[in-house]
Every structure is written in structure tokens, then in C-alpha cells.
Structure 1
Amino acid sequence: MSEDTPGLDLAAFRRWYDEQRPGEIAGELSGRVIAGGRSNLTYEVTDGAAWWIVRRPPLGHVQATAHDMGREYTAMTALRDTDVPVPTTYAHCADPDVLGAPFYVMERVEGTAYRSAEQLAALGPERTASIAGEMVDVLAKLHTVDPAGVGLAEFGRPAGFLERQVRRWGQQLEGSKTTDRPDADELHRRLTARVASVETGDDGSWVGIVHGDYRLDNLLTGADDHVKAVVDWEMATLGDVRTDLALLLVYDRLSSLPAAGLVSDVSNAPGYPTGEEHLARYAAARGRDLGDMGFHLGLAYFKLAVILEGIHYRFLQGATVGEGFDRIGAGFDPLISAGLDALGEDD
């Protein structure tokens, strides 16, 4: 296995892919890990004339409900002919014996994943505002797609979605705690106490396709400043689409927390819209009021904190690839504190 592609045996991959799409690979393969991902491993593979993107789960500790390659592949394949831009999918392998884990293959889309305020600042305020605005517009388009109309009617179970989210992320935390987390336990308790009333008050009109990790660096933006592809669909499902919007706002608010820069600080760029502007643009695109977002924001802070804890857990095990993981754990406590503030006092 090449040092440039840890977790991807290029010879084994070629044998498998030649069976799926005979004759497509013409020359000797080489590859590299694409920088940026702190969860699944993403590789760019080429034979010198054509390129492919390969995605597989991380090395080492993997939560049972996370890193679902089949889910990513299914979501992007279903959305291919909609207004939501996604990469073309080529093949999916559910057999872990080929590479040591399930994986899939898709096209390489030319575009930039903006991860920092510095990148956006170089574009200027007007272009930054335009890019961020289109990010929200694309999210609204996703949430208006009829799941049944694209073959995703059975992609998730909308009934009880929020309750399951609260329970699942609590379980994820228990599976990857690196120390006692009493404030996180308290936030989870409050979410658990409040979720039933939130779901009871919902008429089901917010049900749709949820990306699950929507933010600017999970979009590939072209040189024309338009979104060319939405990627990283491992958490996609059917449920309350406001969870996507809340998580986007939480990612943006990282820039004002001590965890700034650990995941993204794009909202610090001149011209980047405020959270209130994002909410207003999304509401206008959907033509409806969002209502109280407090619960959804509390859940989003909890979810992101748990994701960081899982990455920190893998770092301590020596199972991460890349740099910067030694600082990822510092984001946990600020996120939990912000989640408690967003949720407010017990009813």
C-alpha cells in the first residue's frame, strides 16, 4: 500500500474497479489523500489521463452508525437529476475485504472547498456574500426535493426523527468519550426532556432530505462562484430539515468561540452574511417562517461537539491521517456551553 494512499491499496482497487467498469482505467494508477477531511478518507486517483474520487471510512475506531458509504452513494445517485448539484457516482463496494472497509467511487469535480476566512477574504466581500448566499439557496433547493420522487421514500424514518437524533448522538458520545463530560450530559438531558414537545408541535411539513453536515467546505464552488457539487453525504437521511440550517449556523458561530479555526472560520471573512441573514434568506426561499430555532440550535451544538470528540478519540488512538488533530479536542467544551445557552433553562 502506498504511503500516499493509506487505507487504499491501489492494486486491489484496480482489480475490483476493472470488474465494475471494464476498460475505464487505461494506465498505472497513482493517488493521494485529499487534504481537509477530518472524518472519512477521500482520495484522488488517476491513471494520468482520467481521475476518480474514492471515499472510505477512517482508519481505526469507527462508530456503528457513522461513516456509511452506501448512504452517501445512494443520496448522490438519487439527486443526480435534481436542481441540487452532486458528483456523478460510478460504483459502490459494500465488501470490506477489498480495501478493509466499504467504499465508493465518484467523479472528480473541479471546485474549491472554502474552509477559511483567509480564502474568502482574497475574493473580496461581494464575491464572499454571493458564494455564501448561494450556499443557502442550494440548501433550500435540497429541502424542497420530494424524497419519493427521487426514489428516497425509504431513505429514513421521519417519525420520531428528532428523538432518535438526540438518543443517537448521546450514544455516540458514550462510545467515544475521552474523559468525564458532565456539561454534555446536562445538555443531553435537557434535549431529551424537550424533544417530545418539539415533535408533537410539528405538523410534518418540515420533513425532507437532510444532508446532515451542511457547510461551506462541504460544497465545491467553481471559478464562477457557483456551487458545482454538494459532497459528504454520510449523515444524510429523511427528517426535520431545520436541523441542517441549525448546524450550518453553528459551524459559522465557531468563529466566535475559542474553537475558531478547528473546523471552519469562514464566517470571519468580510462580506460573509450573519446568522440572521442566513435565516432570512432561507425563509424567503422556502416562503415560510422558521419558528423557534432554539431546540434545533441546542441539538446542533451537541452534535458538533460529539463529532469533535469522536475525532479526538481517534487521534488519541493514533488512527487519524493529517495534521491539526492534536487541537481538535479544545472545541468540545465551548460548543457544549453554547448549546446550553441556545436551549435555555428547563421548561
Structure 2
Amino acid sequence: MALTDQSTDIRDGEELPAGVIDAYLKAQITGLTGEPRISQFPGGASNLTYLLEYPEQEFVLRRPPFGQKAKSAHDMGREYRILNQLKDRFPYCPKAYAHCTDESLIGTEFYVMERLKGIILRADMPAELNFSAEQTGQLCRSFIDKLVELHNVDYQACGLGDLGKPAGYVQRQISGWSQRYDKALTPDAPRWEAVQAWLNDKMPADHAKSSIVHNDYRFDNVLLDPHNPMQIIGVLDWELTTLGDPLMDLGNTLAYWIEAADPAPVQLMRRQPSHAPGMLSRQQFVDYYAERSGIVIDNFDFYYTYGLFRLAGIVQQIYYRFFHGQTRDQRFAQFIQMNRLLEQMALQVISKSPL
């Protein structure tokens, strides 16, 4: 079994014109020879990701999904710019080579970056790694350290000071995700009204420290060195990155963090091995982040509930495309069940919260 992420055949309806891509890249990147072999990475539920294999070099192409897209989402130029300007101060970004704005080539804009070969942890820890609980805990803390490191990057020095507006970030996220969720409603979707009301009522002020917010920081967006899997060598999927409150970013990450003690229905939603022996619990995760960042966190229920609601919004936007036949990817058929489960998880947090 290969531990590095493997591409597969392209899904029906998501093909790329190889000749067009080849001509474009050879005009942008010197020294390319031969013809590209194009395959698709099967993971991910938002932007589509393809492997371009030339005889002497490999690239990754990212393009938006087919069908209806949320306004301002899937901005290829923005993601390309982030990779280029952040890499010198956060060396885990892949190198970006080209951004194509001519939608006549493949029907949409796209960008091309280097392929980083590494291990991506999915739902379960690969047996081949044979990690002890102590090693798993060490990797978990390294994963959190990288998030703290990102939140400490001087975004002004990177030339990314105009990437977002930190002031009013918390309020904009709550109102913005409420609007996006309502626009993506399908007849079978939960309304989330009680959760939205609670978030509006308990909303804190923006944290005094603003930072780069990755907005999708998970183990399956992190690459481990194939020769030393304890070492993180890459962080992927920067499409949602902005400037804002680092605790909101922490809430986003913890929304995906299914711990070992969570019930069986929740475990079915897990997409990273956060339940493995040695992995920190959500509370331990928060405590370690607070220790490493120097940020006092005394109201995490709000940020975690926000993360669950935002995740439901993302899930529902994807399900909306499936519901209306804009994508044929059968993985998305069950997203409505995930949405309902997320609402129940959020309501449970609220019912126990001292806020």
C-alpha cells in the first residue's frame, strides 16, 4: 500500500483538455518536455485537484467545481497570490507556478503549483506507520504548533495586509454564514435557527490579535514527510484563507476534530485520525494551543459551535449542488445526514455551555 497520496482516473464529467493545458504550461514554464499524463486526486469536496505528470516534473492543477458556486468562493487568483506571498514566511506552502484567467481554455480559471509528495492522514492512521501513542501525541502537538506558527506570521510583512478586514470579523462570519446557509437550503435540510440565535446572542468581540486564518486546517490538508512521517512538510488548500480572529480559525479546526470518546454516529463523520491513541482531546487541543500561543481562551464553546455551524454551511453548499444535479459525485449524497448530525452536535454543546 502506498502511503503517499495517489491520483486515480478522472471522474466522469470532470475531464481536462490535455492538449490545451500542455500548450498553456509550456508557454508559462520553461524546460517542459513531452506530454502530460493527467489524473485526479479523489479526495476533497470543493475545488477539483488534478495531477499533471510530465517526464521530468509533476504539477498539481486546481480549478473550481462544476455547478453553482458561492459568491467569492473558489477564487483561484487569490489562492495563487497567497501561496506566492506567504511561502517565504511560512515554508509549508507549495510553490505556485501559473494562474490562468482565460476561462476559454477549460471553461474556468485555474492555477498550477508544484506537487509536494507526502503522506496525508485520512480517517484512520495507516498501520504501516506503526506509531506509538507517544509518537501520535507528538505529531498532534506538531500539527497544533504549525497552526500557532501560521497565526504568528506577520501578514503585513508578507504584503497580505489587504487579504481581509480583521475588524468586525466575528460578526461578519456569523451573519455571513447565516446568509450563505439560507441561500443553500434544500427542502430536506435542517434550519439551524436555535443555533444561529445562540451565536448571535453570545458573540464575543474580536480578539485583540488578528492573524492569517487558514479556515480549513485539518490533518487531511497536511503533508507528512514520507521519509520521516513525524515531520510536517506541507499545508494545502488555501482557498478560504483570510485575515481575522485566530480563535475562529481554531473553532473551524476543532469542528472536524472527532475524538475517541465521541459516539458512533459522530465517528462515521470522521475524516482524520483524531481518535487514535495519543491524539489530544478537543479540550487538550485548546489548552495546548492556548499555552503555545499565549492566548487566554475562556469561552471556547462559542468558537466550537461556530465551527460546527460553518462546517454545516460548507456541507450544505456542496449538497445543494448534488441535490440540483450540478454534480454527479455520489459521495455528496450523504451530506444531508452530516448536516443534521452537525446541528445535533451544536445543540448539545449549547445545552451544556455555561455561556
- Aligned positions of 1:100-179 closer than 5 A: 100-119=107-126, 122-124=129-131, 125-179=133-187
Mean Cα displacement is larger for which, 174-183 or 41-50?
A: 174-183
Identity of matched residues, %:
32
Work out whether residues 258 and 270 of structure 2, in 8 Å CA contact, stay in contact via their aligned partners in 1: no
Q: State the AA in 2 paired with 1:159.
A: A
Q: Within 2, Cα distance between the matches of 1:269 and 1:334?
A: 22
Q: State the AA in 2 paired with 1:148.
A: Q
Q: CA deviation at 1:218?
A: 0.7
Aligned to 1:75: 82
Greater percentage in helix: 1
Work out whether residues 259 and 275 of structure 2, in 8 Å CA contact, stay in contact via their aligned partners in 1: no
Mean Cα displacement is larger for which, 66-75 or 252-261?
A: 252-261
Q: Within 2, Cα distance between the matches of 1:190 and 1:208?
A: 25
Q: Within 2, Cα distance between the matches of 1:111 and 1:66?
A: 27
Q: CA deviation at 1:34?
A: 0.7
- Aligned positions of 1:27-106 closer than 5 A: 27-106=34-113
Instruction: Choose the corresponding residue for 1:4, options 10, 13, 16.
Output: 10
Equivalenced residue count is 340
Q: Would the alpha carbon gap of residues 313 and 271 (structure 1) be closer, same or farther in structure 2, given more than 3 Å must change? A: same
- Alpha-carbon deviations, 1:197-226, whole Å to 9, x = none? x12xx4x42310000111110111112121
- Aligned positions of 1:182-221 closer than 5 A: 183-195=191-203, 198-199=204-205, 202=206, 204-221=207-224
Q: Within 1, Cα distance between the matches of 2:175 and 2:275?
A: 33
Q: Within 2, Cα distance between the matches of 1:331 and 1:180?
A: 12
Mean Cα displacement is larger for which, 284-293 or 251-260?
A: 251-260
Q: Within 2, Cα distance between the matches of 1:121 and 1:332?
A: 33
TM-score scaled to structure 1, two decimals? 0.90
Work out whether residues 35 and 322 of structure 1, in 8 Å CA contact, stay in contact via their aligned partners in 2: no
- List alignment gaps of at least 5 residues for structure 2: 1-8
Instruction: Choose the corresponding residue for 2:22, options 8, 14, 22.
Output: 14
Work out whether residues 222 and 228 of structure 1, in 8 Å CA contact, stay in contact via their aligned partners in 2: yes
Q: Would the alpha carbon gap of residues 149 and 337 (structure 1) be closer, same or farther in structure 2, given more than 3 Å must change? A: same
TM-score scaled to structure 2, two decimals? 0.88
Q: Within 2, Cα distance between the matches of 1:242 and 1:121?
A: 35
Residue 339 of structure 2 aligns to a residue whose secondary structure is helix
Aligned to 1:251: 256
- Alpha-carbon deviations, 1:123-164, whole Å to 9, x = none? 322332222211100000000011101111100011111111
Q: Would the alpha carbon gap of residues 84 and 186 (structure 1) be closer, same or farther in structure 2, given more than 3 Å must change? A: farther
Q: Would the alpha carbon gap of residues 57 and 261 (structure 1) be closer, same or farther in structure 2, given more than 3 Å must change? A: farther
